[in-house]
Amino acid sequence: MKKTLVAFFSASGVTARAARAIAEATGADLFEIEPAEYYTAADLDWTSKRSRSSLEMEDEACRPAIADAVADMDAYDTVFLGFPIWWYVEPRIVDTFLEAYDFAGKTVIPFATSGSSGIGGAERRMHTVCPAAAWKPGALLNGVDAAAWARHVS
């Protein structure tokens, strides 16, 4: 039996809303990629070069720890993967998630939210971080009906 997971990282709640709509529309399980160390408002201040998020994004090798793990990742065939766009790509904690599991034989469908950037840079980068996955084209879901999009691509 095929199972679908919606895994997402959300710093402000915007991506979380899209993830919940996708999970409800597709009957998928929901998993929040939560950092082991919570991000404060100061951590997320992208205008400060010394903020935690800025420092993480400057370091390609940075892999922030995740608080919890997916209970049975082997049970899922399809994973919708959601995140906000940071510095034109996915946040490093998403890379932590991608490297934590074996995605061989799994379909991964990315979705993102952003104030101004597209998803293309994140898609290219994630393909190199996790080449074993069967990647489907993703979407930027700003102002898009996330549920309708998910039903269309799944």
> Which element (helix H / strand E) includes 5?
strand 4-8
Nearest to 74 by CA among 95, 41, 100: 100
Q: Contact at 8 Å (CB) between 80 and 25?
A: no
pTM of the model: 0.96
Tokens of 121: 């840079």
Tokens of 63: 């892999």
Q: Which of 17-21, 105-109, 139-143 has the lowest mean pLDDT?
A: 139-143
Q: Which of 3-7, 35-39, 96-100, 140-144 has the lowest mean pLDDT?
A: 140-144
Tokens of 90: 């996915």
Q: What is the pLDDT of residues 34-48, one digit of tens each?
A: 999 999 999 999 899
